[in-house]
Amino acid sequence: MPRSDHVNGTPEASTSVDFIREIVVSDHKAGRHGGRVCTRFPPEPNGYLHIGHAKAICLNFGIAVEHGGLCNLRMDDTNPATENKEFVRAIEQDVRWLGFEWSDRFYYASDYYERLYDCAVTLIEKGLAYVDDLQGEEVSQYRGRWDEPGRNSPHRNRSVEENLDLFDRMRAGEFDDGSRTLRAKIDMSASNMNMRDPTIYRIRRQPHYRRANEWVIYPTYDFTHPLSDAFEQVTHSLCTLEFEDHRPLYDWYLKALDWVDPPRQIEFARLNLTHTVLSKRKLLELVSGGHVDGWDDPRMPTLSGMRRRGYPPAAIRDFCDRIGIAKANSMVQVAQLEDAVRQELNQRASRVMAVVEPVKVVIENYPEDQIEELDAINNPENEIAGTRKIPFSRELYIERNDFREDPPKKFFRLAPGREVRLRYAYFVTCRDVVKDEAGNVVELRCTYDPETRGGYAPDGRKVRGTIHWVSAAQAISAEVRLYDHLFTAEHPEDIPDGHDYKATLNPASLDRRTDCWVEPSLADPMTGACYQFERLGYFCVDPDSRKDHLVFNRTITLRDTWARMQNKAGHNRKHPLEKK
């Protein structure tokens, strides 16, 4: 029993927090930043948000909520070449969908361009920045290497007046793209490469999606970011590990501009997930290369893809809580995410019956024209969800793999001469198997026991198997899209040199079934609604769905110990390109 339990007297209070929250809590307690807590989520609108961003969103918005603070949503748009409005729209939608709200604190770095320009002028005036005429290759030559100091640019010692004049003319468009830059005057021999006179402004004749042709010079990330944070009075600026090296520069800019009560940058490890990729470059490649059907393809790790797939936002938030925040590079197993999704859906999803791969069953001793209405429970996890009526008749569909002509050991489902329970209906026994010329099973002839209505045997006899079904005459036809991991490789990015990660794309990641049957209660579902198709998994209504053509996405399967038992025979599905 941890000692803290006794100290604060609450036995369950040993909830540990991550190192960032620890810092924020202690800053808050110490009354730093005037007792305020303000974070921000600063995506660049050059792609769609993915599950890795969700981690950052939950962290930033979560911390703000925990302290009665604020979290800003800011478009970090300083590179007009890659950014656009569609991405801004999608980002807003996804953050909102995830369950967070920023009211009027929606900002654009591009709204700060004038102010940033003024800051740059101040740096020049203080002798801390200069206009450099070195270009591309020369710059990197002068920068030196890790183990050798760089050299000062020959233009490093221009007068303040000359710098001011040149910088003004850069803005006015007097110089060609790339011909000059504004650089911070720091230290060309710094061991941290970021401090070797980093670029502040570059010349780019590139129309901006919001500022059009207003500017021909654009500020760099390293300059823009600390100042944007400062302008917005952010207190804690949380970012990923690769920016750790940039922190001295982040602090330098704020110090150079005499910023009072500057924000503090803290870095944490970004998320990696098995069986997928999370780099913007690769996601873009999957979309533009047509390997998936857009950013919101249900197989994508994007938030819009997950939304379409039927992942509840609460499950994603729960997942982010579970994985925690730390500084060690990590690779989270996708099973962790899937478990969060199942847990959420198990509570929420209405149970219905649907048959994805149908085989017809005829109940020989059931009256030809009779239809019964049977009671079915909507959600055993939630009593107030109530019950519904489902029709039963002489002709039904059951799942093809719930029948085996030659059943293996421990197979509890239907087989010649075997009795099973049709869920909420009757016990039936298979009497005959009808096949086509090719030997495929096309129909099962069964008999039912009228005494077992509702699925109960008055004589107390047991059946091991209960299978789902739909009544053929009332069933509604539907398309069902079954999804699997986008990559068969557990670590698609970790493959031998000379190979393309796309070679590990899973050819079976999408399996469209067009001849499925669902129970009549599903006649007119709302887009996005989620269901559990009993014994199959969780499904949601795809936006492609129409009243006369229902389309369901399989969000995730149910746990399937039977399938696992069968697979145990040793074949793991490791991709041939996977290492070791």
Active site residue 410: no
> By the 8 A CB rule, do 157 and 118 touch?
no
Amino acid at 380: P
Residues 6+ apart with CB under 8 A from 498: none
Q: Which of 21, 156, 211, 280 is an active site residue?
A: 280
Q: In which residue are the tokens 């994007």 written?
A: 302
Query: Minimal distance in Å, beta carbon 546 to RNA?
Result: 27
Query: Minimal distance in Å, beta carbon 577 to RNA?
Result: 17
Active site residue 44: yes
- Residue 394 or 421 with smaller CB distance to RNA: 421
Query: Minimal distance in Å, beta carbon 216 to RNA?
Result: 11
- Residue 60 or 297 with smaller CB distance to RNA: 60
- The residues pairing with 428 across neighbouring beta strands, listed in sequence order, are 420, 448
For the purposes of burial, counting CB atoms within 10 Å of the CB of 438, is it exposed (0-12), middle (13-18) or buried (19 or more)? Answer: exposed
Side-chain half-sphere CA neighbours of 484 within 13 A: 13
- Residue 136 or 417 with smaller CB distance to RNA: 136
* Residue 384, token pair as written in the block: 């107030």
Query: E-strand spans in 160-296?
Result: 181-184, 199-203, 217-219, 236-240, 264-268
CA pair distance 154, 372, nearest whole angstrom: 92
Active site residue 443: no
Q: How do 466-467 and 419-422 pair as beta strands?
A: parallel
- Residue 8 or 16 with smaller CB distance to RNA: 16
> By the 8 A CB rule, do 84 and 209 touch?
yes
Displacement of CA 244 from its chain's centroid (Å): 24
CA pair distance 542, 64, nearest whole angstrom: 34
Displacement of CA 116 from its chain's centroid (Å): 33
> HEC profile for 473-487?
CCCEEEEEEEECCCE
Query: Minimal distance in Å, beta carbon 379 to RNA?
Result: 7
Query: Minimal distance in Å, beta carbon 572 to RNA?
Result: 11
Q: Which of 270, 360, 404, 502 is an active site residue?
A: 270
- Residue 246 or 575 with smaller CB distance to RNA: 246
- Residue 512 or 564 with smaller CB distance to RNA: 564
Query: Minimal distance in Å, beta carbon 437 to RNA?
Result: 29
Kindly list the catalytic residues: 44, 270, 280
